[in-house]
Structures are given as C-alpha cells and as structure tokens.
C-alpha cells in the first residue's frame, strides 16, 4: 500500500488527452512539491515534471502537472504511442521523514 495513491492503469487513443491522479495528505503533497517520473521497461526513471508544474528541458509541452490541496495530476495531451509507459508521482513526506512514491500508473495507448 503506497502512501501516494495512483490509479493502476489509464488508457487513451492517439491524440487524446489523459489525466493521471496522485492523492496524498497534508504531510506530503499538501505541503511539499511533487515530481512525476516516466518509467520504460529496462530503463532508468525519467523526470518529466518537477516542482508540481515545471518541465525539464527536452520534455515535450504535451506533459503538464498540476496540484490542488493534497492531490496532484499529470496530464498528457496529444497522446502518442511512445507515451506508453509507467508513470509515478513522488513527494517528500514529513511524517515518515522520507520520500514516498505512488504505486504507479500503467498508461496504454490504444
């Protein structure tokens, strides 16, 4: 059971917009910034959103992050086949004095 809650799966067709949610609490998302990572099989995690809403250079602007209260969300617009991957949210948690990850969301592009 992860501290941050994500839906286990999400899907969309090419060109669609999908949203992946990440629910936490006041000790993590509610008071700390959220990062999002993309994980492809056999590769290291890739940072795609940091500090709730910011994108590292090189990440397409199709990816966007938002946060409200104790929940965060990753939106992917103009879905492409190469977006098919697992996505994880993460935040520091003051109650456990450590970083916590969501359980991950497997995105399928139909």
Which residues contribute to the site for other proteins (CB under 8 A)? Answer: 2, 32-35, 37, 39, 44-47, 50-51, 56, 86, 88, 90-92, 96-104
Q: Determine how β-strand 85-93 pairs with β-strand 34-39.
A: antiparallel
Residue among 13 and 43 whose Cβ is closer to other proteins? 43
What separation in angstroms does the CA of 82 have from each of 53, 64, 107?
22, 16, 10
Residue among 34 and 107 whose Cβ is closer to other proteins? 34
Residue among 50 and 77 whose Cβ is closer to other proteins? 50
Shortest Å distance, C-beta 16 to other proteins: 25
Q: Identify the DSSP state of 15.
A: T
As a whole number of angstroms, the distance between CA 96 and CA 20 comes to 24
Shortest Å distance, C-beta 62 to other proteins: 18
Shortest Å distance, C-beta 14 to other proteins: 26
As a whole number of angstroms, the distance between CA 24 and CA 20 comes to 13
Q: Identify the DSSP state of 32.
A: S
């Amino acid at each position: 059971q992860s501290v941050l809650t994500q839906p286990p799966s999400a899907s969309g067709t090419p060109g669609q917009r999908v949203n992946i949610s990440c629910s936490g609490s006041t000790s993590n998302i509610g008071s700390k910034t959220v990062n999002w990572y993309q994980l492809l099989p056999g590769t290291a995690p890739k940072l795609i959103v940091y500090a709730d809403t910011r994108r590292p250079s090189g990440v397409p602007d199709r990816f966007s992050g938002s946060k409200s209260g104790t929940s965060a969300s990753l939106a992917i617009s103009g879905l492409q086949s190469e977006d098919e991957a697992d996505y994880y949210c993460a935040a520091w948690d003051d109650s456990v004095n450590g970083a916590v990850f969501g359980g991950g969301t497997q995105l399928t592009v139909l």
